[in-house]
């Protein structure tokens, strides 16, 4: 979920641009040096092409009997609703059901990842499986988002729109699935390998997953939310990766995005976890710059220097003795 967006200037491209392969050291290159990040390691050897927009297929339809979230028909941008999601026993069961479905859909989508498949084909499969299970694909029509799932390839940090681009050997792709089942959202994502992926990218993905797992392991009633950011940031630092700050975890339940805002970086924010509360944790780590650049489609967010980014996300429930992962298969 977007926290705030600060525009940034042109900088060194780690992926191979079609215009120029020239590498000039810019501000972001210097910050990477200062913060001991790995950017230059990748830029020296990479032959990976920059991600480019493809063609987006027409909007898919949802059968009438499926319950639609309120934001789909409204014109105003949804944003982050105030008030946390804290559930009674019935609400918890609904969250378990939507979390389970989101996890199953994501797992299925992951099996489709291979060279040659387009992200639009992944969107079709995800859309079909969600409606076959009586649920609504939450991204479809959220703030005008045109598709049923987010597919974020290589330097795309998040919110990639499925399109005609075929996956290529060596790509990494985050698939972010959210379903709205019986009035409750379940939100989860994972990053997958397309064919043979080089060691550098594999390690980024591994460490990003570890960050999520470690953050979940410290969750319990009464724990400060800022411990999540510290846990993720400490682990990313240890491996010299950057943590994206503009996109955050969030309360999730009857509303897609609500309080609390869950920061993935070191912070002094106030607020503690509450019994029976549900929220997401969804760290995005990068090899180089942590600063995002948005495409003209107003959704696709890429690293400003074209360096790789990975993400994992779970919806969790705060229980008496810790956290239950609702989006685990």
Q: How many CB atoms lie within 10 A of CB 147?
A: 26
Contact region for Co ion (CB under 5 A) — 86-94, 102-110, 125-133, 179-187? 179-187
For residue 247, which phi and psi values (nearest 5 degrees)?
-120, 135
- Partner interacting with residue 165 (select from Co ion, ligand MF3, none; CB below 5-8 Å by kind): none
Which tokens in the block code for residue 266?
A: 């070191």
Build a one-symbol-per-residue string for 269-288: x at contacts with Co ion by CB under 5 A, - elsewhere.
-----------x--------
Nearer Cβ to ligand MF3 (28/278)? 278
* Contact between residue 165 and residue 118 where contact means Cβ atoms under 8 Å apart: yes
For residue 297, which phi and psi values (nearest 5 degrees)?
-75, -5
- Candidates 120, 155, 171, 187; binder of Co ion (CB under 5 A) is 187
Nearer Cβ to ligand MF3 (87/250)? 250
Contacts with ligand MF3, residue ranges (CB under 6 A)? 1, 139, 142-143, 145, 150, 159, 176, 178, 187, 282, 299, 313
Of 166, 182, 1, residue with least CA distance to 94: 182
Which residue's Cβ has the minimum distance to ligand MF3?
139
Q: Is 176 in the site for Co ion (CB under 5 A)?
A: yes
Nearer Cβ to ligand MF3 (139/306)? 139
Minimum gap (Å) between residue 275 Cβ and ligand MF3: 23
Of 1, 80, 4, residue with least CA distance to 249: 1
Strands (E), 182-308: 184-193, 242-243, 249-251, 258-262, 278-281, 284-286, 292-294, 301-303
Minimum gap (Å) between residue 23 Cβ and ligand MF3: 32
User: Where do we find the tokens 């972010």?
Assistant: 176
Q: Which residues bind Co ion (CB under 5 A)?
A: 176, 187, 189, 280, 313
């Amino acid at each position: 979920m977007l926290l705030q967006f600060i525009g940034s200037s042109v900088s060194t491209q780690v992926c191979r641009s079609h215009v120029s392969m020239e590498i000039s050291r810019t501000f972001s290159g210097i910050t990477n040096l200062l913060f001991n990040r790995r950017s230059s390691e990748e830029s020296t050897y990479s032959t990976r092409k920059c991600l480019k927009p493809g063609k987006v297929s027409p909007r898919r339809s949802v059968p009438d009997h499926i319950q639609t979230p309120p934001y789909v028909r409204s014109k105003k941008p949804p944003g982050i609703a105030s008030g946390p999601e804290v559930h009674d026993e019935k609400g918890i069961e609904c969250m378990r059901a939507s979390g389970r479905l989101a996890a199953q859909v994501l797992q299925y989508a992951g099996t489709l990842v291979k060279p040659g498949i387009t992200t639009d084909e992944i969107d079709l499969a995800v859309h079909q499986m969600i409606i076959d299970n009586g649920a609504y694909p939450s991204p479809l029509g959220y703030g005008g988002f045109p598709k049923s799932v987010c597919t974020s390839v290589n330097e795309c940090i998040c919110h990639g729109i499925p399109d005609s681009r075929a996956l290529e050997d060596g790509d990494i792709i985050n698939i972010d699935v959210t379903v709205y089942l019986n009035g409750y959202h379940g939100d989860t994502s994972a990053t997958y390998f397309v064919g043979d992926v080089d060691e550098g990218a594999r390690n980024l993905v591994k460490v990003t997953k570890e960050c999520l797992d470690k953050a979940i392991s410290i969750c319990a009633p009464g724990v400060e939310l800022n411990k999540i950011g510290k846990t993720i940031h400490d682990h990313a630092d240890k491996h010299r990766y950057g943590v994206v700050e503009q996109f955050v975890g969030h309360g999730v339940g009857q509303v897609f995005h609500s309080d609390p805002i869950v920061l993935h970086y070191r912070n002094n924010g106030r607020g503690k976890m509450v019994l029976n509360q549900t929220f997401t944790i969804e760290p995005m780590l990068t090899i180089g710059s942590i600063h995002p650049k948005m495409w003209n489609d107003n959704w696709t967010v890429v690293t400003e220097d074209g360096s790789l980014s990975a993400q994992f996300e779970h919806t969790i429930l705060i229980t008496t003795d810790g956290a239950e992962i609702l989006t685990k298969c």
